[in-house]
Amino acid sequence: MSDLDTERLEWLLEHEMLLFSEGNSTVLKDTEIFSKYLAKYKDDFLQSISECYLSNPKVIISLMGNAQFSNSEHYLIIGNIPHSILFGNR
C-alpha cells in the first residue's frame, strides 16, 4: 500500500477503504495523507494517541491547524508530541 500514489490513497481514504488500525497507521505514517487519515478517524486516533503518531513535524502542524479538532483535543495532541521534536535542534 505504501507504493500507491497520493491520489489513490486519498481516494481509498475518502471511500472508507482505509480503516483506522495499527497496521494501516504504520504503513500510512510515511505518506502525504497521514494527517488526513488521523483527522478522518479522529476519535480512534485520540483514544489511542501516542508519540508514534506524532513523529513528523508536518503531520503535527497539519493536525494543529485542523479545525476538526477542539482546543482540548489540540492540547491532547500537544501533550503527546515527542520531546525530541518539541525541544530538538532543527
pLDDT for residue 90 is more than 60? no
Whole-angstrom Cα distance, residue 85 to residue 13?
A: 27
Q: How far apart are CA 57 and CA 17, in angstroms?
A: 26
Collapsed DSSP state (helix, strand, coil) of residue 68: coil
pLDDT, tens only, 55-65 = 999 999 999 99
Pick from 5, 57, 51: nearest CA to 32:
5
**This prediction's pTM:** 0.91
Residues 6+ apart with CB under 8 A from 20: 37, 40, 41, 44, 45
- For the chain, the residue count is 90
The helix (H) or strand (E) run that includes residue 56 is: none
Mean pLDDT of 21-30: 94
